[in-house]
Structures are given as C-alpha cells and as structure tokens.
Amino acid sequence: MHIWKHFWTITKHRHMVMKNCFRAGIFRQGLLHDLSKYSPAEFLTGAKYYQGYRSPNARERELYGFSKAWLHHKGRNKHHFEYWTDYDKQTDQMKPVRMPIPYVKEMFCDRVAASKIYKGKDYTDSASLEYFQRAKEDRFMHPDTAALMEQLLVMLANEGEEKTFACLRKLKEYKLEPDGTYFYH
C-alpha cells in the first residue's frame, strides 16, 4: 500500500485541476473536482495499485478485466465523457451524449493536469493532444464533444495555455462557425 504517495498524487492533481478550472472561469467545479477520489471505494484501490506514472485504475483493470474504482469514479464525475452515455429511444442501444460545455471545460482542465502529473519534466503543451489522439478510434464520445475537445487541445499545442484558457473563459455553447470551429478565437 502506497497511501501517502497516492494521497500526494491525487491531491497535487486536484490542486492543479482546481487552478486550471479557476483560469477557465469554472470556480465551483474546480473546488469540487474529483472529491470522490478520497472515498474508500476509490482511495483504497489507488493506494493498493499506485505506480506513480499512470492511473492505478489501469493496473486494477489489467488484473481483473475492469476497475471497480473507475466505475465508481466515472459514475460520479460529469467531466468524464464516459459519464455521458444513455440509451437511444429509437434503437434501444447505448450512445454517447453531447457533454454540456462546463464539463467539457473541466475535462480539458483535468487532461492537462493529468498530463503534467504523469509526464513530469517531459511535459509539453502537445502531450494532452497526443494522448487524446492515441485513443481516438476506441473512444465512445459524442462527435461534437470530441471535435470541441480536439480543437481545444490543438489550440493548446499550437498556441499555448494563455490563449487556450482565454478561449475557455469565453466558451458558452456548441456553436459551429463557418470555418469548422466551435467558438470564437
């Protein structure tokens, strides 16, 4: 059990996300971000499978074929696209649902912070985009949400944090512009 190392990692991550959320103008979400990680259902698994360079849930998933901690987490945290699935009334099949903008903003803040934590000194502004693009084919995310998230991550990679967070503060709705973007630059 790596109780203190896990506690330090999730607390450092949470504070980094909180700072990002404040920069994005979503203060309440920053304060409440990932509190479920301190619950016994998530914390004990995290301490048991702590590795320091990736999510402990990945190790639990390798051992058992699924992660109870992740199932608990994604069901309580709306900034995860996996939360946003529901049954289609016509097909009675699961489908991704477009995420509300405040949760897209929080998801962006979360991904940037996670990349910084796990990459450490090797972090660059393109790290989150690279991670996002690696899982593109396997992701069950609404196309509008995926396009918006990718646009934000490309902006981060190409233009840096200052400009991207300025755009996040202005972002209010999914609005497709004639140039194929979702918001004003």
Query: Is 181 inside a domain boundary?
Result: no
HSE toward the beta carbon, residue 13, CA cutoff 13 A:
24
Using the predicted structure, report yes or no on whether residue 139 has a pLDDT greater than 90: no
| Domain around 20 | 3-170
Burial of residue 32 (number of CB atoms within 10 Å: 0-12, 13-18, 19+): middle
Query: Is 178 inside a domain boundary?
Result: no
Task: Report pTM.
Answer: 0.89
pLDDT for the residue numbered 150? 93
> Could you give the number of structural domains in the chain?
1
Rounded to the nearest integer, the mean pLDDT of the chain is 92
HSE toward the beta carbon, residue 101, CA cutoff 13 A:
14
Q: What is the pLDDT of residues 29-81, one digit of tens each?
A: 999 999 999 999 999 999 999 998 888 999 999 999 999 999 999 999 999 99
Distance, in Å, from the CA atom of 163 to the CA atom of 151, rounded to the nearest integer, reads: 13
**pLDDT range class, residue 169, cuts 50, 70, 90:** very high
Interacting residues of 27 by C-beta distance below 8 A, sequence separation 6+: 21
Query: Is 176 inside a domain boundary?
Result: no
Query: Is 32 inside a domain boundary?
Result: yes
Tell me the residue type at 30. Answer: G
